[in-house]
Amino acid sequence: MFRFVRSGLSIKAVKLGSKQRLDTIWVPSARLWNLKTFTTSSIVFKVCPVKTPNFPESITEGDIRWLKKVGDAVKTDETIGELETDKTSLPVISPVSGVIKELIIPEGSKVTKGQILCHVEEQAQSAEVTAPRISLETVKPSPVVQSEGPKKETKDTSSMTAFSQSERIETRVPLNRMRQTISSRLKEAQNTTAMLTTFNELDMTSAFLIRNKYKDRLLKDYGVKFGFMSIFINASVHALKSQPMVNSVLMKNEIVQRNYIDISIAVSSPKGLVVPVIRDAHNMNIIQLEKAVAALADKARKNALTIEDMEGGTFTISNGGVFGSMLSTPIINMPQSAILGMHSIQERPVAINGKVEIRPIMYLALSYDHRLIDGREAVTFLKRIKDSIEDPSIMLMGF
């Protein structure tokens, strides 16, 4: 039999007939403080270690971020923390239901494969409580308990919330691992490649006609929204086939050529810009591309992208137009050789057959590695995308 005794701000278990006091069980809510003692026939404690999740081959370490604290109740398979790596975040899962006993690794610390991160105390009670029943709704905390513990100091933060007031405040926030990786790779692209950008303008009239004609049917029959990204992926695949050097990469003194096309899509996520990959885009139709884009965007929003989702890629498409960008010079996604920048669509006056007409125009930008890709190839490639979208029959006919 075990007897439970209130001790300070916690409840401890004492085995009857023994002076040995077991560890703290839990810190109860204020409504339970009028309960002095109760007994039970047995209690089982099991402390379960929680280790780092399995790392993919390309990852050796990560930074821990805790979603739970000591004393929090957790369920089996509940996410209690995250490991932020160079490429993605890996969830730390509780293997059992119980209470967080100890956080061994402090918040923000670096951890490696197989390291114990915390302990979860699994509890199982095998007998009924023998103490009299107490209505929890009617029990009020005693004044003594209410006064226990240090009081938190309160600070008037009203002067910290407005930019126009006198107090000047600076806050330093450490870069997370993903932002550090993004920074280093952007600098690598700038320092390594001979980057150049070429531009063109695109009449989106035909793209709007196709989208307006088929968007309801795609939503009804296939459950996907028909956007412009799939059209640009399809046009890029068509252009990459005609200009395979743009799909290649320079490795030391060798040119690595591919007979496949994996399109990387720049997507904004809660932790920064991520670039998941659509594999074998050259074998997909518009419907399959839309489903792939939607699935990757959803995983990015939920911070659920895996290493496999982002590894590889032979060509990148970035759409700054969703944020209102009129024109930009996108940076190459290393180790690729080129990136296409989409921008906002604006109605502009253009000359059509000697007459001024208002057309939906998008500016396109292609940044490329001039060490590998000549200006003629880059301009031809971008012109091929322009022609394919302005006249989709070109892709249909295979011209």
Instruction: Give the residue numbers marked as catalytic.
Output: 370, 374
N- to C-terminal Cα separation, the chain: 85
Q: For residue 330, is the peptide bond before it cis, meaning its omega torsion is within 30 degrees of 0?
A: no
Helices 229-242, 205-222: axis angle to 10 degrees equals 120
Residues 6+ away with beta carbon under 8 Å from 93: 50, 53, 77, 78, 79, 80
Residues 6+ away with beta carbon under 8 Å from 380: 242, 243
Helices (H), the chain: 143-147, 177-192, 205-222, 229-242, 286-301, 307-310, 375-390, 393-397
Q: Counting every residue, how long is the chain?
A: 399
Mapped onto helix, strand or coil, the DSSP state of residue 307 is: helix
The DSSP result for 217-238, as a single string, is: HHHHHH-----SHHHHHHHHHH
- CA distance readout (Å), 260 to 1, 314, 380: 70, 8, 20
- Per the CB < 8 A criterion, the answer to whether 355 and 172 are in contact is no
Q: What is the spatial distance between Cα 329 and Cα 364, in angstroms, rounded to a whole number?
A: 10
Q: What is the spatial distance between Cα 305 and Cα 14, in angstroms, rounded to a whole number?
A: 48
